[in-house]
Structure formats: structure tokens, C-alpha cells
Amino acid sequence: MIKNEQTFTRLREEMVETQIAARGVNDDRVLAAMRKVPRHLFVSEALRDQAYNDYPLPIGEQQTLSPPYIVADMTQALQLGPNDRVLELGTGSGYQAAVLAQWAYRVYTIERIFGLYQRARRFFDRFHYHNIVTRYADGTNGWPEESPFDAIIVTAGAPEIPAVLVNQLAIGGRLVIPVGSAHVQELIKVYRDQDGIRQVTLGSCRFVKLIGEHGWTTS
């Protein structure tokens, strides 16, 4: 069944109330962004009716769009301010970057799969996301020439926390990254302050593998 925009708006509201706010995400900016960004436009037309359901969706190239709650939870963990510069590893569909761009000063996002990179870049141009900067590259190297970053988010599972990313955090910066095996990970938040590095575990999660020089070597 093809839904109209009014129906999608209602589905976004239901998604926020039942999947996100009900599970502890309480940052008003995150909730507002999740209500605003049209998630259904980031998946194929055949999957649009499922866009606001509580499970991942395929976006091609053996990659997925994370469930809404995971996107919101990771976004909240970044503790973004309006002047923050954010690095995202794994552009994918572009949905996470679009959420971050609602109030971050600038989002730098890297994608290693050319087809996904092209699709996301066209989408950002079409919908005038002028504060998103895209790059086609191995994201595990970060973006040294634009560092340091106030926040870094990794949307794929790594075998360990890449030191190269920690080194690209500003003092006071936060890194949110899934770390573990190829099949299940823990979501880790890393803080960098004047005294060094500290980290906390936010919970279990499951992501596709982070492929690259400082991640997994094969898919």
C-alpha cells in the first residue's frame, strides 16, 4: 500500500513515542530530529511501508539501515552541541548523517562503497543538506586533515577501537563505536579529556563489519 506524506508523518510520531522515547532516549533535539527526517526516503520504494518499523532494513551492497532506536540512542550518546563538528564512518543510506545534521554545525561522512556514496551524496544535494560533507574513502583512517572532531560516530562493528580515530578527537570529544566480534558487539562510548581517555559500555548491539585498514580486513 502506498502511503501519503501525512501518513508517514504520523508513523514518524508513533516511532518516536513507542520505539525511542519509551526506551529512554530523552534528548529533545534527538527526538525532534527523528520526527523530522523522512526515514522512508532513505530506503527503496519497495521498503517504504516498513521504514518506521523497529528492525534494520537492507539498502543494497550487503549493508543495512539501523533500526530507529539504535540511530537515536547513538545520536544521543554523542551529546552534540550546535557548534560541533562530527565525523561519521559509514554513510550508508545517509539517514544517520541527516539526523546529525539537524543541529550539528557540520557533519563529515565517509563511505567506502562507491554506489552508496553516490546515492547518499545525490540525496544530500537534492534535499539541501548543506552542512554535510561527503567523502569516498576507507573510513577507518578517519579524516585527518579535518580533525580534530568534537564527536565521531561509527556505524559498523569494529574488532577493537581504532587508535587513529581516538587521536582525531578534540579535547572534550566523544567517540561512539560498536566493538566486538563479527556477529555481536558492545556499543562503546569513548571520552577524551585533559587527563586522557576513558570509556563506558552502553549496551549490546549488532552491526555489519567495519571494513578497512583499521577494522576488519574482509567482509
What are the b/e assignments for 64-97, b being 16+ CB within 10 Å?
bbbbbbbbbbbbbbbebeeebbbbbbbbbbbbbb
Q: Which residue is associated with the grid cell 534535499?
A: 127
SS3 call for 107: strand
Instruction: Give the model's pLDDT for residue 1.
Output: 47
DSSP characters over 147-178: --EEEEEE-SBBSS--HHHHTTEEEEEEEEEE
Catalytically annotated residues: 66
pTM score, two decimals?
0.95
Average predicted confidence (pLDDT) for the chain: 95
**Mean pLDDT within 25-36:** 97
Instruction: Give the model's pLDDT for residue 22.
Output: 97
Inside any domain, residue 97: yes
Instruction: Give the model's pLDDT for residue 5.
Output: 86
Inside any domain, residue 11: no
Inside any domain, residue 61: yes
The CATH number given to whatever domain includes residue 141 is 3.40.50.150
pLDDT tens across 63-118, in order?
999 999 999 999 999 999 999 999 999 999 999 999 999 999 999 999 999 999 99
Domain total in the chain: 1
Inside any domain, residue 48: no
pLDDT tens across 152-210, in order?
999 999 999 999 999 999 999 999 999 999 889 999 999 999 999 999 999 999 999 99
C-alpha 218, offset from chain centre = 21
Inside any domain, residue 217: no
Inside any domain, residue 78: yes
Inside any domain, residue 111: yes
Domain interval for residue 144:
54-205
Percent of the chain with pLDDT over 70: 98
What region does 92 belong to: left with phi over 0, alpha with psi -120 to 50, or beta? left
Inside any domain, residue 17: no
